[in-house]
Amino acid sequence: MKVNVAMLGMGNVATGVYKTILKNKEIIKHRDDVEFNITKILVRSLDKERDTLIPQEILINDINDILNDDSIDLVVELMGNVEPTLDYVSSLLKKGVSVVSANKDMISQHWPKLESCAKEGNSGLYYEASVGGGIPVIKTFLDSLQSNNIEKLSAIINGTTNYILTKMSEEGLSFEEVLKSAQEKGLAEPDPISDVEGHDAKYKLSILSSLAFHSKIPVSKIYCEGITDIKVDDIMYGNEFGYIIKLLAIGKRSGDDIEVRVHPAFIPERHPLSSVRDAYNAIFVEGDAVGKLMLYGRGAGASPTASAIISDMIIASQTVSHKYTTFRNIDKPSKQINFMDNWLGEYYIRLTVTDQPGVLARVATIFAKHNISLESLVQKSKGQDEVPIIFITHTAHEKDIMNALDEMKDTNAIVDVASLIRVER
């Protein structure tokens, strides 16, 4: 079966898709007898120098050449951004042309609209590549975990921050040092804000948690904290307690109560997520039937992303009905969900205090007043004017912790509330 394909965009990932389709033509054809014939590629500039494999004559720069071409069976959208992409994709879906996309910004913010366009046109939107690169996480939620109530998902879904935290942990370098060298190596963007502040992970968590909990989880409801304030000292102290630091995207559900949050977290070194190093991604899921499940792999890069996109292309080509695409009948609007912000968790807290009698008693009193009990406490040095003390709490409410820390900030003998890092198990 020959499938005529148009591509929107011809950047790094799109070039990877094009090359993989050429190189692995036989294996793509082997199982499902699908042959992709790329007939048009929408680009911004027709004159830009490109990989010599890309034939100049299929490049176009007017979207109408694709919208008005009835010979096109399938569109692969890799131009990114929300505008004008959303308009293009909506028009295609309404017209009955299925779209494969890796555009997490567009999908996380506009999937209800995209879904209704797809229903109108009886087409499908496929987006395996929007989260976790080559990791088949979307299909796992849509196809393999259908009989499960998903209780929790914890994901490392930003490669840049995982690379930075791995280097900080293993080489004792500061955030700034690692970021600089990652930028030099092309492992971090020149403008790293979206990655290091957790926004990229937040978009992806919106998609994953909407799928996991069968509910619309808007990006705006996700608590988000990045890794820019993480200090090497805390990574090392955490290590002594048997913890590894990761930027986690967490979704938890209990009935209609849902908490969704992106923040740095300490996890036990024996947790499977601890072994996810460098730029790798992993999604750890807990379901009531399946138990604990983890998917691990390369979350970015032209070639792994191409693997996910082509798998979607094959499925989209072979499917008579597209009813199982997009988010599949999510009928719980976000107003029916109780978005939690007063989570229960454990906490790593580092204070800087003056080294004098009675200080610890005052700190302990404040903790007790806010219903916080302590699992352990370590004072790291002695005999200096100011010393660090590290506390690991038992399970406590987020708001109690914040109130306790506010009170400590106003306490004379406590010089500084230096760090707060959540502990996940």
Active-site annotation, residues: 204
Interatomic CA distance for residues 41 and 161, integer angstroms: 32
Q: Which of residues 306-345 bind its own copies (CB under 8 A)?
A: 306-308, 310-311, 314-315, 318, 320-321, 324, 328-329
Does position 261 interact with its own copies (CB under 8 A)? The reply is no
Residue number with CB closer to its own copies (82 or 289):
289
Interatomic CA distance for residues 170 and 284, integer angstroms: 23
**Pick from 345, 195, 164, 176: which is nearest to 267 by CA?**
345
Cβ–Cβ contacts within 10 Å for residue 87, how many? 11
Beta carbon of residue 134, minimum distance to its own copies (angstroms, whole number): 4
Does position 291 interact with its own copies (CB under 8 A)? The reply is yes
Interatomic CA distance for residues 124 and 92, integer angstroms: 10
Q: Which of residues 121-160 bind its own copies (CB under 8 A)?
A: 128, 134-136, 139-140, 143-149
Does position 298 interact with its own copies (CB under 8 A)? The reply is yes
Beta carbon of residue 128, minimum distance to its own copies (angstroms, whole number): 7
Among 4, 116, 181, 274, binds its own copies (CB under 8 A): 274
Beta carbon of residue 222, minimum distance to its own copies (angstroms, whole number): 23
Among 6, 21, 153, 187, binds its own copies (CB under 8 A): 21
Does position 32 interact with its own copies (CB under 8 A)? The reply is yes
Sequence-ordered alpha helix ranges (H) in 122-198: 137-139, 159-171, 175-184, 193-196
Number of chain positions touching its own copies (CB under 8 A): 57
* DSSP at 272: G
Does position 255 interact with its own copies (CB under 8 A)? The reply is no
Residues binding its own copies (CB under 8 A):
20-21, 24, 27-28, 30-32, 128, 134-136, 139-140, 143-149, 214, 270, 272, 274-277, 280, 287-298, 301, 303-304, 306-308, 310-311, 314-315, 318, 320-321, 324, 328-329
